[in-house]
Structures are given as C-alpha cells and as structure tokens.
Structure 1
Amino acid sequence: MSRAVYPGTFDPVTPGHLDVIERARRLFDELTVLVAVNAAKQPTRESEARAAAVHAALPATWHNVTVTAWRGLTADYCHQHSADVIVRGVRNTTDVRHEQELAAMNQSLGVPTLLIPARPNLATVSSTAARAFPG
C-alpha cells in the first residue's frame, strides 16, 4: 500500500491545495494532508482549526484522504506513519527552487518528494492572496 503526505499551513485552504489533494489521492492508496506548524509563518488560526477547515473542504467521497495537525518535521511524521513520499505543489520557478531545497533535505532524511505543478488556471492562487483578498 502506498502512502503519501501533503504538508502545508493551509491558511486558508485554496482551490490550488484542493487540486493537488485531488491529483495526489489518485496516485497513492492513502494521502494524509498534514496541517503543519511553521515557525516562519504566522497563521491566522491554530493548526487544529486549519485542519478542520481542510477536512470540511474535502468531498465526502474522497475516502483515502485524511487530515491531521502536526508539529514537527514532515520526515518524522512519514517515518512514524509509514508514509512513502511527500507531495508538494509548485506554482512557479520560485516555488520550484524552494521546494527542491526542502526535497533535498527530506531525501537526506530518507523520504523522497513528488512535486506536482499547479494547473495554469490555479498558478496565481496563494493562501497569502486569499487572506489579503477574501471572498
């Protein structure tokens, strides 16, 4: 059975996040959306509230997707829960460079990363923009 983890702050969850989740859930038997605590970011809500919002946004038919809050390294979660790969969405070349650095670190910790490019119509959507321009 293949297991993947899709980590992020999801503050808030966007159509781009949902698209990555939908595409990744078709590639793996199980997908965990890992709502993370990131010291570099200051989310507007606690991780448990963000996890509940992600869960509420998922279609009920996506039975192989779970959502959990996590404080710690994504690679540690993967090792503790037998996840095979980390999934990350990328919108542009800046994202790719950043995610390649994270992927190299996670690979050194024994967990490979799969980068999923954003669909062109979703490439400009970000949580930062969604917070700045709600609705």
Structure 2
Amino acid sequence: MRGCTVAPVRAVYPGTFDPFTPGHRDIVDRARRLVDHITVLVAVNASKQPSRSPVVRAAEIRGSLPAGWDTVTVAAWQGLTADYCRRHACDVIIRGVRNAGDYEHESHLAAMNETLGVPTLFLPARPELTATSSTAVRALRG
C-alpha cells in the first residue's frame, strides 16, 4: 500500500489591520494550527484611510507576534489578494467573521476570489472577541 503525501498548505490572512486587534491575533493563532504557513497580508483598502503606511503596520504586527510562530510571516501588499496568492503559491484565504454583517460582506469577497481561483476559509470569532473591531479600538484611542 502506498502512502499519501499531502502538499503543504499556504494561507493568506488579508486585512487593513489598523490596528491589529486581539481578534486578529486569535485568527492568526488558530489558522497557523490549520495550515503549514500563513502570511498576514497588510493590504491597502481604498475605502479606508489607515493612520500608518502598510509597511509600518506590517512591521508593528511582525514585532507583536511571538517568536515561536515561525510559520507566520507578515507582508505589505497593494493589489488583489488573489494576485498575491498566485504569485506566492498560496492555496487559501483566511477570513475572520464576527457577525452576520461580516459574513455577508466577506461572502461577496470570497465569491470573487473563488472565481479568481482562490478559495476562502471563514473562521468565526471567539464570542469574547466579537465586540472588538479596529474601528472601535481607533475610536477608544481617540
């Protein structure tokens, strides 16, 4: 009987991450246990106006992750997530969802990415983290 070999699974977790919240960190932690490698992709979103550049946000996120998370990388990117996936041999997009509104929005993006050849895996937020959003954190910082 021949053994099965499974190719390593590479994932991308895209977002604006302004700022990177405990909910984001939790999604990365859970996703890194499901895939062989995950890239936190700090993206440019035309509908948002982040307080810092993608490169600065990526460096902040990288510095906040535990040293032992050696299967997690952080990169800044301007362009379609599916293009990043194709260029870097990523198999799946990871998205966290906090509520029905998030799911509705994310499902539209997932459908588009699916047509571009990249599936999306949704991870529901832990109940204690559903109220935390980057927008709420920015508002508290005032």
Question: What range describes the TM-score normalised by the shorter chain of this pair?
Answer: over 0.9
2:94 aligned with 1:94:
no
2:19 aligned with 1:12:
yes
Q: Which residue of 2 aligns with 1:69?
A: 76
Unpaired segments ≥5 residues, structure 2: 1-7
CA distance in 2, matches of 1:125, 1:117: 13
Offset of 1:79 from its aligned partner? 0.4
Normalising to structure 1: TM-score of the pair?
0.98
CA distance in 1, matches of 2:141, 2:32: 27
Aligned length: 135
Q: For residues 46-79 of structure 1, give each alpha carbon's deviation from its aligned partner in whole angstroms, at most 9, with x where no partner exists.
A: 0001001111111111000000000000000000
Q: For residues 87-117 of structure 1, give each alpha carbon's deviation from its aligned partner in whole angstroms, at most 9, with x where no partner exists.
A: 0000000000000000000000000000000
Normalising to structure 2: TM-score of the pair?
0.94
Unpaired segments ≥5 residues, structure 1: none
CA distance in 2, matches of 1:45, 1:9: 10
Offset of 1:134 from its aligned partner? 2.6
2:110 maps to a residue whose letter is A
